[in-house]
Amino acid sequence: MLKDSYKRPIRDLRVSLTDRCNFRCFYCLPHGEPPIAPKEQMLSFEEIDYVCEIFVALGIEKLRLTGGEPMLRRDIETIIQKLARLKPSGLRDLALTTNGYYLPDRAQSLKDAGLDRVTISLDSLKRDVFKRMTGVDVLDKVLAGIDAAKKAGLEPIKINAVIVRGHNEDEVADFAAFARDYDVKMRFIEFMPLDSGHEWAREDVVSGKEIRDRISERFPLVRVDVARGSDTSSRYRFADGAPGEIGIIAPVTEPFCGACSRIRLTADGQIRTCLFSTVEHSLRDVVRSGASRAEIIEYIHSVIMKKEPRHFINDPGFVAPSRTMSFIGG
């Protein structure tokens, strides 16, 4: 099993399929078209399949396909089929994070290809707020995508909402009601400094505690996982036994780095050992140099040993990553 220098096992690989997105969320890509990496720098499906097979052989149990918007990658079902073949080799979970736009027409084909589940971004239940936060007026399409994912059996479905003061903090309890009505796992994420405009401000962060308090005023919660291990979210169920679940991801006010089990592979083949890394490691160049499998494994091990002990958001000298979330991959 892969372990870093702090003895943390690495079990979760997040693979970005593209740095393109059809949304323009202000906390990610507010300033028009992002600079797109040249096509020749992007990993091919064959390269993704090859390196993921190696990672699974080294103990990776969860693969999450991200972007950008991963469904902009042509024939995404093809790479899902390839990766699904790794399940007998130790892969336990093959998931996709998406804005949901393409799910109404393709949820079933994703399931048929071997995808296990989806996480869908949904930052507001109000059409005007959704448009202001995402830059597109397609709330109905995303809601239809959630329905399509449920019908296709891409469950458990997780819904991600980034909560930003002055935008959607007043909807927190409404999102909890949505989780109850739709029987989904609603996850609230603190606003992080990953925006392309580098306009993040601490006063815009709605803390995990405030989110819990706002929900509890309407729906009392019971903690599910007192010891959450490497999970990114603190999980809660509804005290009255209603369906649905609440998860709170609070990397700014309640860091959980001590049990981090994740690494990331960008669409252009760079390993990132932390979401907030300021250094990347080119697995693409190693693979394309003609390195043997043993040499690739040695390189991966050497990079994992450089994984940071924690993020440094709360340190005075914090430097935000040069690349935004659309390039890094969630």
pLDDT band at residue 113 under the 50/70/90 scheme: very high
Question: Residue 297 and residue 107: Cα distance in Å, rounded?
Answer: 34
Asked if residue 103 has pLDDT above 60, the reply is yes
pLDDT band at residue 127 under the 50/70/90 scheme: very high
Contact by Cβ (8 Å): 159, 248: no
**Structural domains in the chain, sorted by start:** 12-328 (3.20.20.70)
Q: What is the pLDDT of residue 315?
A: 58
pLDDT band at residue 316 under the 50/70/90 scheme: low
Residue-wise pLDDT for 266-311, tens only, equals 999 999 998 878 789 999 999 999 999 999 999 999 999 999 887 6
Q: What residues pair up with 238 in beta bridges, in sequence order?
A: 221
- Token reading at 57: 């052989």
pLDDT band at residue 152 under the 50/70/90 scheme: very high
Helices 127-134, 139-152: inter-axial angle, 10-degree rounding: 90
Tell me what the mean pLDDT of segment 142-156 comes to.
98
